[in-house]
Structure 1
Amino acid sequence: MTIRHILTIAATTSIAACALTSCDWVKDDLSDCPECQGTLSVKIEHRYNMLHADAASSRVEKADVFIRNTATGETQHKAFDKAMLDASGYYADMEFAGAGTYDCLVWSGIDNKIFDWDTQTVSLATQPGDTIAHRLPLIFHGRADATNMELRSDNLATVDMMQDTKFVNVTFKYNGSRHVQDTDFLLTLSAPNSVLDASNNTAADHATTYKPYGARTESIDHQQVVSYALSTLRLMEKDRDQCRLRLDYRPADGSQEQNLFDIPIIDYLLMCKDFEGENMKTQEYLDRQSTYHIVFLIRDTGNPHAPFAVSVLSVNNWQMRDDQPVVKTN
């Protein structure tokens, strides 16, 4: 029994390119297309994570699958929702016309607000100076290039999805004499990653500033604890010098403001690479890891012009550094 006979996939819509060299899309129903002479079953997985286990069924909620004939440029697209993927065991069934070599591209979490269908590029559409303060959608990317497809056959390609949406949770503990709230501080993360091209490389020509989409202040064990949650897109080693995390003290009463730190965020995230990502290359670790927790310790200085001193306490529960002050690098 062939792969195509095994699969049970609900009805889908598809988009096919008519011109050989054009990137324009037209909607078409290919289910009865006499020119479709074979099938490609795209197995969607998400093993590119810290556990090295397939988490697609619990993480990848939908999939937009593109296949492109590398010789003719003809491209087809189908969208699969969660119900379709669950029913098929996370196989996406595509039809094609003409044997040859095909490239397969899969995005998850895209919509018309952030996706350019002509270039197959994700873009948050920011301009220099823009800020993003909402939680980003859960975006995944995967490719399987140069797949050889034969006519009148059920061909198979496996795509391992990478989670592009990253979450950075920042907490600081304060045991001093002042009463502080999360609104007294401004936390920002800046990175040139608001555009991801079809190969999943960051392609923005400017940095975008991300602000927390969530914040809270608590009292725990006689300490004031302030927590922030941010989201951003793929972090790449090539952008290392441009990715920064900054915290400013801006009290509501208008008293002395202070920049508490302005640090190269990727360098700090990599503090735990040797423990969590042993034998991984830097970019692989940044791609497999999807959530980071950074804890800072803030204490009083007695100096009214610079009331706080800051130390790194931990990153993902590793690298305890109570005694090392954060060095500001502007």
Structure 2
Amino acid sequence: MKKTLKNIFRFAAGAILPAIAAILCLSSCEDIQEDLEPCPSGLKLSFVYDYNMEFANAFPSQVDCLTLFVYDAEGNYVTTRTAGKEQTSDKDWRMTIDLPGGHYRLLAYGGMNCDDASFTFASDPAKTSFSNLEVFLHPSLITEPVGKYLHPLFYGRLDITVPEISTGYKEATVSMMRDTNDIRILLANENGVPIDASDFVFSITDNNTRFNSLNEIISTENVSYRPWAKGNSVMGVNPDGTESLVAWAELSVPRFMVSSDARLNVSRQDGTPVLSLPLIDVLCLYKSQRYANMANQEFLDRENTWNMTFFLTGQGVWAGVSIIINDWVVRINNSEL
């Protein structure tokens, strides 16, 4: 009998004590009779960028400024918060926002409020609803014949509810993705004959300069992206002792979509075509069988650094292409595309 009573008391204590602790915690910031401050209501947010091929959080090292917009359940603008590199580079940093109970839609952009931002808003975000917010590449960065490096752009979105009765800030994580790509193109002669970058014109054409609040591309018109840097490098020494000189060009391009008609074009200065390839098809060929179940769009979004090497014949047309990313290689013959 004593043992039974002891078990009953032990069970009762186990059920009651946590409830008492919760009540005490609640009363500690809401007991009006003791004139204590009300419990804080709102969000404590962390930001993560692990939507990459390393599947590792690179937010502190890659995102150097942050803009967060808060909208209510109907998509009406509520408030804005910003952070600089001092905050974003700290892996323990959290963004705290005071908000009353209710449902909210959060939009986060990395790289928009930096001094060298490449993208801007189509209208004043404080006067724009969630569904009407648009981001576009600044026209001054679409230049010919010399392109510009695009400051990395990151995007994140989260729908969340703040409790009507609060016991403190609600913690949540906003996951980010990158919307810019870095492409490095190498031209080499298969016979080791030197190649001069100044003899070639490099470009990528695509329709991807404008985004809506869901990070979808808004169709406008095709634009031509040109290299922001190009030059020559020594790849090795030929059997006759001469240096094998290759040409390279670096381009910076916004988000690639699997449905786009993006093309990579290389020609000689006189306009003679060297190659013209369906860029998205070529890039998707790289995807390893380890990621066979990964959709092509996810692959294009996770990867953002692309190195492509093209081998030219003695006649100056391309003989094949080697796409090299993170030590993986895919080779294609001219006749395959």
- Same topology, TM > 0.5: yes
AA partner of residue 96 (structure 2): D
Which residue identity is paired with 2:297?
Answer: Q
- 1:82-121 matches, cutoff 5 A: 82-86=85-89, 89-96=92-99, 98-111=100-113, 114-116=119-121, 117-118=124-125, 119-121=132-134
Is residue 215 from structure 1 mapped to residue 218 from structure 2 by the alignment?
A: no
Q: TM-score scaled to structure 1, two decimals?
A: 0.76
| Number of the residue aligned with 1:14 | none
1:197-276 map, 5 Å: 197-221=212-236, 222=238, 223-239=244-260, 242-250=261-269, 257-275=271-289
Shift of 1:314: 3.0
TM-score, with structure 2 as normaliser: 0.75
| Cα distance in 1, alignment partners of residues 188 and 194 from structure 2 | 12
Cα deviation, 1:45-87, whole Å, max 9, x if unaligned, reads: 0111111111111111121011111147242101111213345
What amino acid is the match of 2:71?
R
RMSD over equivalenced CA pairs, Å: 2.7
1:149 and 2:140 equivalent?
Answer: no
Alignment length (residue pairs): 279
| Counterparts in 2 of 1:327 and 1:163: CA distance versus 1, 3 Å | same
Q: Deviations over 1:74-106 (max 9, x none)?
A: 42101111213345723211122x321111110
Corresponding residue for 2:319? 310
Q: Residue 321 of structure 1 aligns with which residue?
A: 331
1:281 aligns with 2:295: yes
Q: Aligned equivalents of 1:218 and 1:175: distance in 2?
A: 15
* Contact 2:191–2:313 (Cα < 8 Å) also in 1: yes
* SS state at 2:79 partner: strand
Q: Are the equivalent residues in 1 in contact too, given 2:66–2:109 (CA < 8 A)?
A: yes
Q: Which residue of 2 aligns with 1:49?
A: 52
Within-5 A mapping of 1:61-76? 61-71=64-74, 73-76=76-79
User: Per the alignment, do residues 51 and 278 of structure 1 end up closer, same or farther by CA in structure 2, a change over 3 Å counting?
Assistant: farther
Matched-pair contact (CA < 8 Å) for 1:130–1:208 = no
Structure 1 residues 210 and 113: CA distance shift in structure 2, 3 A? closer
Pick the structure with more helix per residue: 2
Among all aligned residue pairs of Structure 1 and Structure 2, give the percentage whose two residues are the same amino acid.
Answer: 21
Q: Given that residues 188 and 195 in structure 2 are in contact (C-alpha distance below 8 angstroms), is that contact kept between their aligned partners in structure 1?
A: no
Q: How far off is 1:313 after superposition?
A: 2.5
Shift of 1:219: 2.7
Answer yes or no: is 1:161 the counterpart of 2:167: no
* CA deviation profile, 1:169-199 (whole Å, cap 9, x unmatched): 1112114486531110001001111112211
Return 5+ residue gaps in structure 2 as ranges: 1-36, 126-131, 239-243
